[in-house]
């Protein structure tokens, strides 16, 4: 009899523990109120995911509570959770269970390892938006044959709602999926649908080219500082000139050549600098840089 009482008590306490740890705590960690699913889950929470999440929250496309993310390192999870206010997990498996729209935002070299992770399963219920540079739709579909895939090449300016993205449709993606992806990307900048073979060129045009523009800006501002301007004033003047030049190209319908002409008054100051850049064949250097990006993107895709 005492052993029966002991066993009953032990069983009851086991159940209580299971209830507390397996049911109550994970539920509390995920969605305290109603155990609802997240609207979108990010696998990888580095620079690009942060930029996209920041843009989506600031544009009210999704609230903090509707977005989840994951990263293996505790430091990244803590940083992103405190900066963006979203729930963060340690594994992709947890994200795939808690959201049906999944953004794959890990480095291309981590893609194959990711799809081999325990418990990470993507099925027909998932729309998978991959932003991994160079990873082809057919490669992604070989890992997750049932999921609907859209491949995207965004750029990090989506953090300030001035992104520029190209996207391509996977075999099983529906019209509704394409609308959703277009809506998400358009809310944080310009979004254009392109054929998949053109995504390598998009990588060169907008995915990577902000880095070249920052190099250009840094060099111009440096000269401003050496000529007496405070560093912040020099950088603000350059940055605003980039914004203005971008808007001029988008809004006037003028070509770059026409715009260059309109800045260079005859006998004026600008033409002196244009001559220096032309003398050093700056355009061919830039072309070479963009070709290098496109080439690398093609090689990564195999």
Interaction site with ligand NAP (CB under 6 A): 43-49, 70-73, 76, 92, 105-108, 110, 114, 131-133, 153-156, 207
Q: Which is nearer to ligand NAP, 49 or 234 (CB)?
A: 49
Query: Whole-number minimum distance, CB 190 to ligand NAP, in Å?
Result: 14
Neighbouring residues of 103: CB distance < 8 A, sequence distance ≥ 6? 40, 41, 42, 43, 49, 52, 129, 130, 131
Q: Which is nearer to ligand NAP, 54 or 234 (CB)?
A: 54
Q: Are 189 and 163 in contact (CB under 8 A)?
A: yes
Q: Which is nearer to ligand NAP, 96 or 187 (CB)?
A: 96
Partners of 68 in beta bridges: 41, 87
Query: Whole-number minimum distance, CB 46 to ligand NAP, in Å?
Result: 2
Query: Whole-number minimum distance, CB 4 to ligand NAP, in Å?
Result: 48
State the burial class of residue 97 (Cβ atoms within 10 Å of its Cβ: 0-12, 13-18, 19+).
Answer: middle
Q: Which is nearer to ligand NAP, 92 or 188 (CB)?
A: 92
Q: Which is nearer to ligand NAP, 185 or 235 (CB)?
A: 185
Q: Pull the structure tokens for residue 188.
A: 């944080």
Q: Pull the structure tokens for residue 207.
A: 């995915």
Query: Whole-number minimum distance, CB 262 to ligand NAP, in Å?
Result: 31
Q: Which is nearer to ligand NAP, 10 or 47 (CB)?
A: 47
Q: Is the dihedral of CA 83, 87, 92, 95 positive or negative?
A: negative
Please calculate the CA angle 96-127-161 and round it to the nearest 5 degrees: 100
Residue 146 per-residue DSSP state: T
Query: Whole-number minimum distance, CB 96 to ligand NAP, in Å?
Result: 11
Q: Which residues of 136-164 are buried (b: 16+ CB within 10 A; e: fewer)?
A: bbebbbebbeebbbbbbbbbbbbbeeebb
Query: Whole-number minimum distance, CB 9 to ligand NAP, in Å?
Result: 42
Residue with the CB atom nearest ligand NAP in the bound state? 46
């Amino acid at each position: 009899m005492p052993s029966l009482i002991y066993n009953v008590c032990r069983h009851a306490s086991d159940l209580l523990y299971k209830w507390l740890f397996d049911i109550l705590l994970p539920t509390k960690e995920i969605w305290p109120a109603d155990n609802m699913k997240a609207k979108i889950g990010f696998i990888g929470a580095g620079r690009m995911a942060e930029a996209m999440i920041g843009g989506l929250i600031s544009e009210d496309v999704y609230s903090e509570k509707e977005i989840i993310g994951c990263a293996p390192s505790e430091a990244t999870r803590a940083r992103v959770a405190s900066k963006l206010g979203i729930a963060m997990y340690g594994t992709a498996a947890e994200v795939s269970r808690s959201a049906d729209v999944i953004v794959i935002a890990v480095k291309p070299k981590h893609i194959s390892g990711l799809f081999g992770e325990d418990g990470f399963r993507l099925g027909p219920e998932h729309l998978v938006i991959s932003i991994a540079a160079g990873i082809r739709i057919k490669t992604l579909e070989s890992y997750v044959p049932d999921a609907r895939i859209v491949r995207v090449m965004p750029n990090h300016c989506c953090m300030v709602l001035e992104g520029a993205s190209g996207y391509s449709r996977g075999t099983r993606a529906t019209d509704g999926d394409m609308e959703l992806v277009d809506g998400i990307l358009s809310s944080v900048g310009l979004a254009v649908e392109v054929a998949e073979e053109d995504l390598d060129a998009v990588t060169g045009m907008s995915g990577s080219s902000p880095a070249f523009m920052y190099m250009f800006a840094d060099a111009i501002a440096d000269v401003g500082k050496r000529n007496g301007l405070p560093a912040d004033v020099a950088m603000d003047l350059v940055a605003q000139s980039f914004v203005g030049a971008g808007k001029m190209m988008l809004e006037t319908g003028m070509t770059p050549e026409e715009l260059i002409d309109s800045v260079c008054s005859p006998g004026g100051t600008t033409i002196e600098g244009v001559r220096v850049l032309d003398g050093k064949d700056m355009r061919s250097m830039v072309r070479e840089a963009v070709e290098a990006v496109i080439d690398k993107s093609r090689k990564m895709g195999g």
